[in-house]
Homo-oligomer: A and B are copies of this chain.
Amino acid sequence: MTSESAALRERLVTFMHEQVLPRHPDVHREIASSPAGHRPAVLAELKARARAQGLWNLGMPTLPDDAPGTRLSNEAFAPMAEIMGWVYWAAEIFNCHAPDLPNMEMLVQLANEEQRRQWLSPLLEGAVCSGFAMTEPDVASSDARNIRCSIERSGDEWVLNGRKWFVGNVGRPDCRFVIAMGVSDPEAPPTRRHSAVIVPVDAPGVEFVRHVPILGSRHRYGPHGELRFNNARVPVGNLLGEQGRGFAAAQVRLATARIHHCMRFLGAAEVVLRLMIERASQRHPFGQALIDRETVQHWIARSRLELEQARLLTLDAARQLDALGGIGARRAISMIKLAVAEACFALGDRAIQTFGAAGVTEDTPVGSFFAEARAFRIYDGPDEVHLRTIARMELDETGARWPAPLLPMLHVPAGL
């Protein structure tokens, strides 16, 4: 870690301790009793303070020179993302929240000048928010080739038809646009059929159907919306990247989005683990504090072990991403997605059991952490898709790694 990023990290920790954690009870209470998507007033104030301290647009290594931000490498940003993850409403203070951060990265890489001016700049300022519309309720979207929202050219416009859900941010009053994936070239080969277009939420034919309630309720803060495109129309200039290269475009946001997501989860996990220890110290069923029971101690130890391993793996993936790019880091990215989601799910489960009935309420971060972790085992690709990726890469490289001399070990009948 360079001294610069160490200093930045230190400042971020201080900010979290002084500005964020003490406000959590009030902010959480306000969010929990407000409609989905509500932003507490204090947020704007905190954003201003964070930006004043240079804690703004961290990450995004290729951010243009004239844009506000720090341009940390993935490896350097990862520990920052973890710290922001301590509290579910914190990342936005630093303009490092999903899905806006990955959307910004996508725009940095792919947008033309006009698109940057119109869509990227307000995001970099934290003035508006945006969504990413990929998943569809009608198909198994874990295989992106199944996506069938149509994007047809009609004169100077793209016309979209289809349903999308799990669109982050959409439904928030300050949501200005979504990046939507759909089929623009139905006759092309499967991986060249899709394009990405920028769809303002107030474009004609864009229908906000509902907030989709998810397990637990943290989603009041970061609600997932359902959209319907009914002959929705956007200018041709809203195509992001090349036509038919939507998958390649999505790749741009994917690897970093996953690393950030993983690190934020690890941060939330550290808080949950700490709360679990506190709670276990306070409760005394059957004449013994929970913390003195072997079962709870083993839960703590296993969680520590799993988090530590997941963190080392994620940092290694960030290093690979910096060095090799998204394709080169693909195996590592699949591995962290799987490992972090499972470690957090296991921790969430143990934390609920430690908290008892309070663990399944909304009064503590434990229940919603568990629910989020459960959902995370599907978001960004379900466990099984990543297992498949890892297995395939293992099989591919297997021949190269080991010499033929190993094969006789397969069977050496030993006469006895």
Contact = CB atoms under 8 A, between A and B. Distances in A.
Interface of A: 17, 21-22, 24-25, 28-29, 32-33, 135, 137, 139-143, 146, 165-166, 209-217, 226, 271, 273-275, 277-279, 283-286, 290-291, 293-295, 297-298, 300-302, 304-305, 308-310, 312-313, 316, 335, 338-339, 349, 352-353, 356-365, 367, 370-371, 374-375, 377-379, 382-392, 394-395, 398, 401-403, 405-416
Nearest to A30: B414
A134 to B, nearest CB: 11
A318 B278 CA distance: 32
A352 B371 contact: no
B285 A140 contact: yes
Contacts of A416: 32-33, 210-211, 213, 362
Nearest to A86: B406
7 contacts: A137-B358, A146-B285, A216-B216, A300-B394, A304-B394, A352-B378, A363-B412
A355 to B, nearest CB: 9
B25 A412 contact: yes
Which 3 A-B residue pairs are closest in the complex by CB-CB distance? A32-B414, A143-B285, A21-B405
B357 A135 contact: yes
B375 A360 contact: yes
A193 to B, nearest CB: 15
Given A140-B284, A316-B312, A408 B378 contact: no
A366 to B, nearest CB: 9
A335 B217 CA distance: 32
Contacts of A339: 305, 309
Residue from A166, A283, A374, A379 having most chain B Cβ neighbours under 10 A: A374
Contacts of A374: 349, 352, 360, 370
B382 A356 contact: yes
Nearest to A372: B360
Given A359-B378, A410-B364, A353 B383 contact: yes
Nearest to A294: B294
Contacts of A367: 214-215
Contacts of A408: 22, 24-25
Given A310-B309, A412-B25, A416-B210, A141 B357 contact: yes
Contacts of A215: 215-216, 360, 367, 370-371
Contacts of A273: 394
Nearest to A291: B395
Contacts of A285: 140, 142-143, 146, 385
Given A146-B284, A271-B409, A300-B391, A28 B414 contact: yes
Contact of A313 (B283, B297, B312, B379): B312
